[in-house]
Structure 1
Amino acid sequence: MHGHGMAHFMLLPALALVMVASAWLTPAALGDPQATQLNLGCSPYNATPASAFLLALNSTFADLRANLSAGGGFATAAEPRAAAPAFAMAQCRPYVAGRDCVACFDAAAARLRGACGGANGARVIFDGCVIRYESTAFFDQATLPGNTQICNGSAVDVAGFADAARALVSDLAAAVPNAPGLAAASASGGVYAAAQCVETVGDSGCAQCLKVAMGNIDGCPPSSDGRAVDAGCFMRYSTKPFFPANATVDLAAYLRSGKKSSRKGAIIAGIMGGVAFLIFIGLLIFLLIRWSRKFRPQRGDILGATELQGPTSFYYHDLKTATNNFNETSKLGEGGFGDVYKGLLKNGKTVAVKRLIVMDTRKAKANFESEVKLISNVHHRNLVRLLGCSQKASEFLLVYEYMANGSLDKFLFGERRGTLNWKQRFNIIVGMARGLAYLHQEFHVCIIHRDIKSSNVLLDDDFQPKIADFGLARLLPDDHSHLSTKFAGTLGYTAPEYAIHGQLSEKVDTYSFGVVVLEILSGRKSNDTKLDPETQYLLEWVSSFLLKLYCS
Structure 2
Amino acid sequence: MQLWVEYDGTHKQINVTLAPINVDKPHAPLISLNHDLAPILNKTMYVGFSSSTGSVPTSHCILGWSFKMNGQAQELVLSQLPKLPRVGGKKMSKLLTIGVPVVSVSLIFLAISGVIYAIRRKRKFAELLEDWELEYGPQRFKYKELYIATEGFREKELLRRGGFGKVYKGILPASKTEIAVKRISHESRQGMKEFVAEIMSIGRLRHRNLVPLLGYCRRKGELLLVYDYMPNGSLDKYLYNQPTATLNWGQRFKVIRGVASGLFYLHEEWEQVVVHRDVKASNVLLDRELNGRLGDFGLARLYDHGTDPQTTHIVGTVRYLATEQARSGKATTSTDVFSFVAFLLEVACGRRPIETQGPLQGVILVDWVFSCWKKGNILEARDGNLGTEIISKEVELVLKLGLLCSHSEPSDRPSMRQVVQYLEGDIAFPELSFLGHSSSGLTFAPHEGSDDFAKSYQSSSFTGLSYVESTLLSGGR
Q: Quick check: which has more Rg, 1 or 2?
A: 2
Per residue, is there more helix in 1 or in 2? Answer: 1
Structure 1-normalised TM-score?
A: 0.40
Structure 2-normalised TM-score?
A: 0.46
Ranked by relative contact order (alpha carbons within 8 Å, sequence separation 6 or more), the top structure is: 1
